[in-house]
Structure 1
């Protein structure tokens, strides 16, 4: 596959992955560009064409993780910046569900996103992350259970007593 075909094949799905991972449209665009730059620079190191999809997602995963680490290091500088829901067009997810997914532990979040939004098989996720298929299944179940539990929690409605003046 030539470079143009490679980019055409993977650009949209890698961008969506980065957007879901980072929850920021502009950052996802930047990281996606970085991913394809790295892939272009390292394209000769890919020996097995069958592993191409896992390889490009691995590059994306590492780039997103690097960006997240950067955010954590500079969190105090970024405190005032909020990501608006409008920064994430076309994801089809409610803001609540998107936030709950982002609040999952890193490994569970990555597995959940790869399985449910990018249609990776359990074996593909395991190979990409360097873990066993059993671990993928366990982490995925835990993620789904956490999401279900949090989605079922009733929203706190203030009681009438809290409206009374003292």
Structure 2
């Protein structure tokens, strides 16, 4: 019964009251041809299937706008071609902006290593500009890992004096590093 109707007759007869039946008729008639069109353009079976489904949804949503200036099949193939071309153009635009993450990662690691090395050199320069007592105090705290109380006992100072000297030494290093970094 459905085969006897042309596409345009099926649209006129079934679209207003039985839209699901109209969709089923047109889908069964053209799904294979639309899929082949998509496959010939994408060379990817999954994309072709996805595009085919998207095209039929798009066509069915715009079926009332079909003006019958050409046959339904011509209109459907035109929509199919344009949809595939648009999707491929979009995919191409995104693929050209993709990054080589391994290469970018290597560059970032290299830059981190270089920054670490420069920071160490800067710290060494700043340390040499401190007095022997200031260097000794910082080494006891940060290299040897002694607590404030242990440093106070070792140097025969009060804990608050140790804290103040550590703070002044750190401030001096920070100022020297900032000065060298700016220059």
TM-score (norm 1): 0.44
Q: Which has the higher contact order (CA 8 A, sep 6+)?
A: 1
TM-score (norm 2): 0.40
Return the index of the structure with the highest Cα Rg.
2
Could you say which structure has the higher helix fraction?
A: 2
